[in-house]
Chains A and B, each alone.
Chain A
């Protein structure tokens, strides 16, 4: 009965490939996010998506594109993978702009680019 679920949990791929990570939440939240956690455990917001509005962190390369088929899903597609993309990617969701809403995180996807 997982609240925020991501697949796959582990992903190993070669440089130059294109890959997707899927995320689903069953909390009825209206805002979803993608975060990247690097090898030093530093967490950084990549995207937020609320009611079809996508807000992009300007530091994210355009090889990364989120896709939301509906309010409960926010998938992350990555083109032309690079070694530096290796990290753990976390999906999260919250009740958007409502005051005091915390974000709930998925279990993470460990991406290794070789």
Chain B
């Protein structure tokens, strides 16, 4: 059974600081996705990582994938309040040929 684990599940940090969210998964996969969800809203696609060593950056967010370690990271640089949200990583595979999601990281960035 494919398992996807994120940590931390909750993160409170100050503006201007850097931090990393980790996503481990249990079986081989070469497709990993990061999504953002604001309270009461839908999921917004942030990054699609397709190969070992893939690195993508968008603004203050950077995602990377190490398929050998079965690990993806989402790095936040100089956090700003607008980045407060819940971040999910997801891996293709598991039941019903859909995405298997981590439990999400609830990120609060305080001024």
Which residues of A does B touch, CB under 8 Å? Answer: 33, 35, 40-48, 50, 55-59, 90, 92, 99-100, 102-108
Contacts and interface: CB of A to CB of B under 8 A. Distances in A.
B101 A42 contact: yes
Contacts of B41: 107-108
Interface string B90-111: 1000111111110110100000
Chain B: interface secondary structure?
Answer: strand
Interface residues of B, number: 25
Contacts of A50: 97
B101 A44 contact: yes
B4 to A, nearest CB: 10
Contacts, number: 63
A100 B48 contact: yes
Contacts of B96: 33, 45-48, 55-57
A35 B95 CA distance: 11
Contacts of A56: 96
Given A43-B88, A105-B43, A108-B42, A48 B98 contact: yes
B50 interface: yes
A27 to B, nearest CB: 12
Contact of B95 (A41, A43, A45, A90): A45
B98 A33 contact: yes
Nearest to A108: B42
Contacts of B31: 99-100
Interface in B55-92: 86, 88, 90
Given A106-B42, A107-B41, A107-B42, A43 B50 contact: no
Nearest to B30: A99
B103 A100 contact: no
B14 interface: no
A41 B48 contact: no
A5 to B, nearest CB: 11
A48 B97 contact: yes
Contacts of A55: 96-97
Nearest to A110: B40
15 contacts: A35-B98, A41-B104, A42-B101, A42-B103, A43-B104, A45-B98, A45-B99, A48-B96, A55-B96, A55-B97, A59-B95, A100-B31, A103-B33, A104-B45, A105-B35
